[in-house]
Amino acid sequence: MSTESVQIHKTAIVTADRVGSGTRIWAFCNIQAGVTIGADCNIGDHCFIEEGVQIGDRVTIKNGVSLWNGVTVEDDVFIGPQAVFTNDRRPRSKQYTEPVATLL
C-alpha cells in the first residue's frame, strides 16, 4: 500500500491492497486486505470494509458504513452515514443462494 499523501488515523486498521493518493481514512475504521481504494476518497469514522470491495476515485463514505465482499463503488459516489451494502439479496432468508455482486 502506498502511503504517499494518504492520511490514516492512528486508530484505524488498514491492510488494504491499495489506497490511492489524497485519500483520508478516519478513526476506528477496519479496512481488510484485498480492498482497493481509489484516489481522493474520504472514509469516515467507524467504517468496516471487507476483503474484495473495490472503491473508485473521489468517493465519500460517511461514518459507520459497512461494505461487504462483492461490493463495487464506482467513481464520484457519496454514501451517507450508517449505510450497509451487502452481497446478499435476501438477508436472513432460509433459502441459501449464491451471493450477488453489488455495483454502486
Rounded CA separation 73/27 (Å): 21
For residue range 12-36, what is the model confidence (pLDDT) as tens digits? 999 999 999 999 999 999 999 999 9
Rounded CA separation 92/45 (Å): 27
Higher-confidence position of 86 and 99? 86
CB atoms within 10 A of CB 71: 20
- The pairing of beta strand 71-73 with beta strand 54-55: parallel
Rounded CA separation 86/48 (Å): 12
Quick one: CA dihedral 55, 12, 52, 71, positive or negative? negative
Task: Quote the number of domains for the chain.
Answer: 1
Domain range spanning residue 103? 1-104
* CATH code of the domain covering residue 23: 2.160.10.10
pLDDT value for 86: 83
